[in-house]
Structure 1
């Protein structure tokens, strides 16, 4: 299915039908990504699939209007971060931007079909970035084993502030996946973000509480406190009612910490409205509309 969509995209491009080419490249990316789940990491076929998927992504962003670009962001020696930067449509000056980062295993190509249109429809640029690099340099398993993954977030911000098409006062970040606490830790260490959508340390709080019950002597006290209290920008936490963490427990943690943060919001999607599964997988459209509306409101208030 991935190959068929890729071939259909290339044929449409040859005939000058760019909208059809773009939509088929986007579908091919999704199918190629799905196919890798069944392939072992050492399988040579998997690397071929990933290279073909990246080629589709590169062609897709190169033929957007305005065109996107593949960017390299310095991070570790021998392992730069790679991202896709999609400029805001019809932007006449410096535009707001949303950074999308996920758990270490998430690939930036996901955000081309999961998030890009929500940013573009709201006049925002988007930077999709992952920890996987460009496929060269340091091995990924060595990278994700590092205890300081949150440092990557600051490097992404450093890069954005060098661009003359970005409003450095209107940069938001979306940490995809409710366990993406490295993004929350990165935001807590960098007060330049104007808004953040992530777990805000809820998962960290859950793990700490679990360990305190099991190992009371070694985990006495509340070391580090709530991570969210160190995040100074507006913060949105979203959860699904049917997710891994029970909603009652999430609400309890949220209410306990709300007084310590100037602008923190919690949205739990209920089963009756969908988007209630873990990661909002049952209706990501509904969740993304809510999330990007919230981001747009916060970035608009910052510009005022």
Structure 2
């Protein structure tokens, strides 16, 4: 049984279940960039009342909403209304992802649902003439990491800075579109959104598990970017959220071709975080079911998974970072204590480093600021533009 929510009055959807409330709030928040519609999210939440904690009911209701919105997208496309179809395909993609996140053990049905995540998002981007999205594969240790690349306006004529945008423990590259991709493009920064090891398609379809030495994935992405004529290879940064706060910081500490780093949420000692969760019989605040840990690490038990997490500590690593560093965290983050953010920031070896802790009073105090993305995302993307040479004003 997941702990009831402690001090977060904004999380009122399922007050006795943090996991469900956090994910419902996230679905609501993604409406700001077209990942959902508040009315559709509200209908799912209402349908789930009385079934809190039944993850297969969660799956069924979110999948049903995905199916409903997919039908809307297909009808709009058949009638030649490309932009309307694109918007609906994006929402369908995200609802299928919301459904599949809680589905364990993974099987053929969950895989089929996740393929809808990928296919709907690709169809959405193909139908939108306002942006050019390239769906690509990044060579990686005899396999490849799925990604999409979006060049900033004018990058073909004037090579642009780029942000390698990774998600976290349980996110995916498609979610990154709704979180900050459009804001980065508006500031003249191209985006490479990556399903890194243990994440998204990489774990589901290519059996690439989570690993602690994340600079291997970052180096692969850098090699790919440096081959492009529309990329300014001297202005490549990295950003990632949640557990990605570790991915980004580890990558920038070990791979000095990166010129800026944003940890969107602190991760100081991920082994300790999960040890405490396991010792509490998974009663602490979780972003996804506890089974995700064993599955994403490619192991067979929690003990074995904890062994993989031994390397997920930044002490002794982040001291080696040299590029500008931004760490953002929430004052009332119920998954990772704010004390970890201060420890991580103090240890960082960069001379140019900034920490921003969002408070309950202003909003953005929850994990990865899911309670107020509209205050946190502009702060993050403005900082990246100032360090990589983008445009805070939006003008070229």
Which TM-score bucket, shorter chain as reference?
0.7 to 0.9
What's 2:241 paired with?
Answer: 176
Q: What SS does structure 2 have at the residue aligned with 1:88? A: coil
Closer, same or farther: CA 234–268 of 1 in aligned 2, 3 Å: same
Secondary structure at 1:268 match in 2: strand
Q: Deviations over 1:154-204 (max 9, x none)?
A: 111111111111111121211211564133212111111121101697513
1:65-89, CA deviations, whole angstroms, 9 ceiling, x for partnerless residues?
2321111111122x31010111213
RMSD: 2.9
Aligned to 1:218: none
2:365 to 266, 276, 285: 276
- 1:239 is matched with 329
Q: How far 1:134 sits from its partner (Å)?
A: 5.7
Contact 2:167 2:242 (C-alpha < 8 Å) held by counterparts: yes
- Tell me what 1:296 maps to: 385
Alpha-carbon distance in 2 for matches of 1:30, 1:224: 32
Mean alpha-carbon deviation: is it higher for 194-203 or for 165-174? Answer: 194-203
Of the three residues 182, 193, 213, the one matched with 1:148 is 213
In structure 2, what is the Cα distance between the partners aligned to 1:228 and 1:200?
A: 15
Q: Work out the CA distance in 1 between the residues paired with 2:267 and 2:368.
A: 14
Aligned length: 284
TM-score, normalization: structure 2?
0.65
Q: SS of 1:271's equivalent?
A: coil
* CA shift in 2, pair 1:134/1:59, >3 Å: farther
Is 1:47–2:111 an aligned residue pair? yes
Separation in 2, partners of 1:294, 1:180: 16
Does the Cα contact within 8 Å between 1:181 and 1:198 map onto a contact in 2? Answer: yes
Structure number with the higher strand fraction is 1
Q: 1:161 to 1:45 in 2, by over 3 A?
A: same
1:165 to 206, 230, 236: 230
Distance verdict in 2 for CA 1:66–1:149, change over 3 Å: same
What TM-score do you get using the length of structure 1 for normalisation? 0.83
Structure 1 spans left out of the alignment, 5+ residues:
212-222
2:97 equivalent to 1:8: no
| Distance across 1 between alignment mates of 2:351 and 2:137 | 34
Distance 1:97 1:175, change over 3 A: same
Structure 1 residues 121, 263: closer, same or farther in 2, change over 3 A?
A: same
Aligned pair partner of 2:257 in 192, 198, 216? 192
Q: Is the 8 A contact 1:173 1:195 kept in 2?
A: yes
Larger RCO: Structure 1 or Structure 2 (Cα < 8 Å, ≥ 6 residues apart)? 2
Residue 161 (structure 2) pairs with residue 72 (structure 1): no
Structure 2 alignment gaps of length 5 or more:
1-64, 277-312, 392-396
Q: Does structure 1 conserve the Cα–Cα contact (< 8 Å) formed by 2:241 and 2:265? A: no
Aligned twin of 1:33: 97
User: Aligned with 1:229: secondary structure?
Assistant: helix
State the Cα distance separating 1:299 from its structure 2 match. 1.1
Q: Secondary structure of 1:294's match?
A: helix
Structure-1 separation of matches of 2:164 and 2:127: 21
Partner SS state of residue 269, structure 2: helix
Question: Quick check: 1:230 aligned with 2:320?
Answer: yes
- Rounded to whole Å, the distance in 2 between the matches of 1:248 and 1:186 is 22
User: Aligned in 2, Cα 1:2/1:201: closer, same or farther, shift over 3 Å?
Assistant: closer
Once residues 289 and 37 of structure 1 are traced to their aligned partners in structure 2, the CA distance between those partners, rounded to angstroms, is: 27
Cα-to-partner distance string for 1:5-56 (whole Å, 9 max, x where unaligned): 2222232233332322222111111111101123224332211111111111
Q: Work out the CA distance in 1 between the residues paired with 2:194 and 2:368.
A: 18
